[in-house]
Amino acid sequence: MTDNAYHCRRFEGQTAVVTGAAQGIGRATALRLAAEGARVIVADRAAPQADAVRDEIRAAGGQAEVVLADLETWAGAQQLAAGALAAYGHVDVLVNNVGGTIWARPYWEYAPEEIEKEVQRSLWPTLWTCRAVIPHMVERRSGAIVNVGSTATRGVFRVPYTASKGGIHAITVSLAYELAEFGVRVNCIAPGGTNVGQRAIPRTPTPPTERDQQWMKGVLDQTLQDTFIKRFATPDEQAAAICFLAAPEASYLTGYVLPVSGGTPI
């Protein structure tokens, strides 16, 4: 943001809510939206990291507020919607980015409670946050929602996660049908392998075992093998696609699931 990387102001006067904005793709998206003029709600449950993103936006001359919420719950989604409206009065853009594989292993190796946690982590935040924010967009007859799915729907060792992301792809299309008459667009990106660096907060409660590491290597190997460009994406490349789908020039696009994957299909 400090090197004038973005010269357009596509989101001037708009408010954008980005979930999971404390790191990775969410952070890159929040920074880009702010650089293009949006007032950004940095939504996360990791206070120090979320505060750091807010401060980075403000230091570059942008506007941002933090709303801390557990979006795996309906109460957390309501808290986010209320916080966004209290801060800026309206929501124009919603980016549902929360989610991510907790474990990588053959399906039959998952404990039942692990399956539930994967779905709780990667499906419910999008369902709950859409439910909390959509009534406001319908009332204003305007809005753009961008969900974050995954090309993992064709991958190995992550069945509960892929079920969740496949659900997000389906949610996108169904909501696009329902919301078109109200002027609300709903689209989705399906990221391929993306190098987000070292996570500030590990997803797994305990360090991975040697077997876990081998299964994760299988995930990474397959991802790279299936990618035409033969490298992982950067968070900025994913953020660019998200911002395009949210922007006014995409006004005739709704109900699409866009692979941002270097050629990997979904």
Residue 134 to residue 145: CA distance in whole angstroms: 9
Q: Is the pLDDT of residue 261 over 70?
A: yes
Is residue 179 included in any domain, yes or no? Answer: yes
Is residue 9 included in any domain, yes or no? Answer: no
| 73-101 per-position pLDDT tens digit | 999 999 999 999 999 999 999 999 999 99
pTM of the entire predicted model: 0.95
Residue 2's pLDDT is 42
What's the average model confidence in pLDDT over 51-70? 98
Q: Determine the structural domain holding residue 52 and report its residue range.
A: 15-197+205-260
The CATH number assigned to the domain holding 209 equals: 3.40.50.720
| Catalytic option among 161, 177, 252, 256 | 161
What's the average model confidence in pLDDT over 134-159? 97
Is residue 64 included in any domain, yes or no? Answer: yes
Q: What is the number of domains present in the chain?
A: 1
CB 40 within 8 A of CB 67: no
Catalytic annotation present for 161: yes
Is residue 93 included in any domain, yes or no? Answer: yes
Is residue 3 included in any domain, yes or no? Answer: no
List CB contacts of 206: < 8 A, sequence separation 6 or more.
none
| 203-230 per-position pLDDT tens digit | 777 888 999 999 999 999 999 999 999 9
Is residue 215 included in any domain, yes or no? Answer: yes
Residue 153 to residue 164: CA distance in whole angstroms: 9
Is residue 5 included in any domain, yes or no? Answer: no
Strand, helix or coil for residue 233: strand
Is residue 191 included in any domain, yes or no? Answer: yes
Q: Amino acid identity, residue 62?
A: G
